[in-house]
Structure 1
Amino acid sequence: MNLVASSAKANAALHLSGVIKRFGGHEVVRNLDLEVRKGEFISVLGPSGCGKTTVLRMIAGFEYPTTGRILIDGRDVSRLRPDQRNLGMVFQSYALFPNMSAAANVGFGLKIAAMADRDIQRRVAEMLELVGLTGLERRFPYELSGGQQQRVALARALAKKPAMLLLDEPLSALDAKIRLSLREQIREIQTELGITTLFVTHDQEEALSMSDRVAVMNSGRVEQFGTPLEIYNRPATRFVASFVGTLSVLKATLLDPASGSVEVATATLKNLELPQGLARGDHLSLAVRPEAIRFGARKGDAILRGKVTGVGFYGSVIRVRLIVGNETITIDTFNTQLSSPPSRGQDVDISIDPKSMFVMRAE
């Protein structure tokens, strides 16, 4: 028996082991293993239909795994009802009672738990202050903005001091400015309380900016589980590389495996880190992030020439699209008064550090 591994599992806030979920003959979650440490903020990121919400619903108790186990604080909760798991959950749709005030919504679970009225009032006041809604206690949901309603839902989820907080795409119905403000507030509250949090989202920016670690799901499996920097800078699979962040891909042919030399468009690139088992003449895909490309010819970098096809202004960032050979690539450059972006139709040289490229076998 591995005592170190057993100890780690015992100290985990959440441990999923061999979890499979089938609906009829369709397997939506496939042999999932996931371990979350106490106090971590974990995001489960993936496209629609990848199984991320099903995972959250199984942890919450709204669905049971077909096989496998779910442990919370070392206790097997796989077959327990939601009310037996001591979890707080915030839904995308707020799920507030429309005929109750903000205070009554926050205190509802406490009332069901038969807490004394004085204690309920004190706890509700603490929670509304925590989420910045002091003074709005008597307002009904229809009198609150979307962001305020979601903060009431968050306060309600935290009121019973749950062992873990589950967030099911809670920001997707809000406009961009409120979404940014609320995600910062959620992270601040989570850090202040030290509560273990699992956040489901399809928004990569939310996942990368809020999380201690991110689990990227695809077709019912976790393809990579790591810190935001690891996920973005060192993607483990082609899917992770393409789903997280913007990526440009160039077709290449391997010239020399020993020196890491490839031919792309009309240029030869050297010193690339290549996957194992490649041979001369193999077709490859070279992927690169838009911020890793620079205008101009820089010594030691891969130098390519392309024609600008479009320039987009995004405030602090200017995004330039150009054709290199037969491929379209994207470059992000900071908007400064010291330089101007190239014009549409202009031929330009670009430089790429070979170490910033992901080399993958061609599909």
Structure 2
Amino acid sequence: MYVAVKGGEAAIANAHSLLADRRRGDRSVPALRLDQIVEQLALGVDRVMSEGSLYDRELAALAIVQARGDLIEAIFLVRAYRTTLPRFGYSKAIDTATMLVERRVSATYKDLPGGQLLGPTFDYTHRLLDPELAAGGDVAEPLQRETETQAMPRVSAILAREGLIEPDGEMPQDHVPGDITREPLEFPMARDIRLQALSRGDEGFLLALGYSTQRGYARNHPFVGEIRIGEVELELDVPELPFAVPLGTVRVTECQMVNQFKGSAKAPPQFTRGYGLVFGQSERKAMAMALCDRALRASELGEDVVAAAQDEEFVISHSDNVQATGFVEHLKLPHYVDFQAELDLVRRMHAEYDARENPVKADDKREAAE
């Protein structure tokens, strides 16, 4: 605690009051409602849910308000709240092949079976500020949300029919998925644990690492095999029942990256996979995750580990924005004793340096001191 700050605990309490006042802002401006944030700042809400590991739009919106729009602080709040919730069990693995698709694009096939579905995207917009939005303008009338219900075979399945892509990873029947929210991280990691960590990882950090792989650090030329955004059903196995119980749906973004692979002594030349899956509409994060996932498979595929994006300990240990924030921001807290110890050390070293470089001046100082 900043006991040296004038007022001590009272000063900290006042700081909290000032924070609350700044959060509310000008009282003549209507306060934000949570439903406004959920509906109109949806991508920020999705990021908080994804990196906070809690699928609840209203809680994510509340965290954004409380954090004054600081998304990393909001993610911290959501994770802290998540630790207070009871654990009823684990849902079954979602089947993204049955997704009610709102957006589905591929960069690998022009005429894709099932078609391309653009959905809501910034990809084709001009990056120009729209003054009509500042004036409160809306579209002429609400649009009906479009979803696609017909079968959409995966791009990876098309390549698999020709034997040109590695098989999808299969886990043993008795494999119990790890849970990084309950178990400490250990290296090396199984891929399911690593994907969990990447899904919770900071979007900006993973984006930079993914970009680095495209610029030649762990070069591995990627293609977006497929991006899907839509609703998937959650189901829970209940021991007393012979069938799984539907719990509802969640919106997710899935990315499958197709990467070149020259082959090895055990595998023929073929495409390999990188995978990303996150809550909400977060395709930039899903793509960055897929790029990092593929880079982190270097050892598994017999490739040389030569870049940061391929180093599992480096990537996973530094990707969590809550841990990173805590470690960086703790530097703001008092370090008086540590600093005084280093200050004394530097003074002694400085005096020794002066004695070596300027012996006459050092003698004068000693005489003056005596």
- Structure (1/2) with the larger helix percentage: 2
- Structure (1/2) with the larger strand percentage: 1
Name the TM-score class by shorter chain. under 0.3
What TM-score results when the alignment is normalised by the length of structure 1?
0.23
What TM-score results when the alignment is normalised by the length of structure 2?
0.22
Q: Which has the higher contact order (CA 8 A, sep 6+)?
A: 2
